[in-house]
Chains A and B, each alone.
Chain A
């Protein structure tokens, strides 16, 4: 697909808008439809578009495997870490009321952090699965 000029130019133009839209959906999940899962999938689709046009090797240079695996683990750790932090401060597991001085502020902060962790893991997992499928070489036994 490298030789199709229109596809290359349009996908390069579109990628920043897709990433920006993914960030918008993630952080405005409180006020409109959206949230962690949808934002993670849209974020992954930008990189999948890049890999479809320019090949998996170049996309693997943009997002190397180490960063992706770090992202997968960090999201889950962030979520569980928020829960454990609530345990340490004195409330129940995943009880956001104790995270700040004001309970409602604590709830808002807890929801924001948790959605960030969810979005990070979902985006990394979707990109990793696509790269694994695309980079697999057929090896009959």
Chain B
């Protein structure tokens, strides 16, 4: 994944950049399967490697497909990125080691959901049960966000002046 990201930074042909982004999403989905998150891997593969790539290719068809040469040097962003990265790595030294049972995220509610979801809802897939029943309110908000995105795209790109323009084309 690191090699893909370095290639995206360097390459200026936008079509190649979009395709490398899709490969990055697919590698992220594979990593999710290794980390036991099968629902998340399914969603990331279908949404990241599918829909995002198709829409970006559609945008490329409606705009240019090559990036211009950069005018100014990139020293200040590089310094900012190194400083932020160093601060974050210093922060991660305090975290629990990878895969331990005593991490703070495993206390409080997680084991309760695992223990009770099968009896209370007769649904073996605990992620679906938590998503639709225990945290159903959040999922309602998420569906509203998708709804709003669809409405927004219709408003932005919807060919609203279609009837008047086609009338003008026929007269001219």
Chain A residues packing against B (C-beta within 8 Å): 25, 29-35, 37-38, 41-42, 44-45, 48, 72-73, 75-76, 79-80, 83, 93-94, 96, 103-105, 107-108, 110-111, 114-115, 117-118, 121-122, 124-126, 128-130, 132-138
Contacts and interface: CB of A to CB of B under 8 A. Distances in A.
Given A121-B146, A136-B62, A129 B133 contact: no
B132 A114 contact: yes
Contacts of B47: 37, 41
Interface of B: 38-39, 41-43, 46-47, 50-51, 54-55, 58-59, 62, 119-125, 127-129, 131-133, 136-137, 139-140, 143-144, 146-147, 149-151, 153-154, 157-159
Contacts of A48: 54
Contacts, number: 132
Contacts of B154: 128, 132
Contact of B122 (A35, A83, A104, A134): A104
Nearest 8 CB-CB pairings of A with B: A125-B150, A133-B58, A107-B121, A33-B38, A111-B132, A41-B46, A30-B123, A94-B136
Given A35-B131, A75-B143, A137 B43 contact: no
Contact of A110 (B51, B119, B132, B146): B132
B109 to A, nearest CB: 18
Contact of B125 (A29, A76, A107, A135): A29
Contacts of B43: 37-38, 41
Contacts of B133: 96, 107, 110-111
B38 to A, nearest CB: 4
Given A107-B122, A111-B132, A130-B58, A76 B144 contact: yes
Nearest to B140: A79
A108 B154 CA distance: 35
Contacts of B62: 133, 136, 138
Nearest to B50: A45
A45 B46 contact: yes
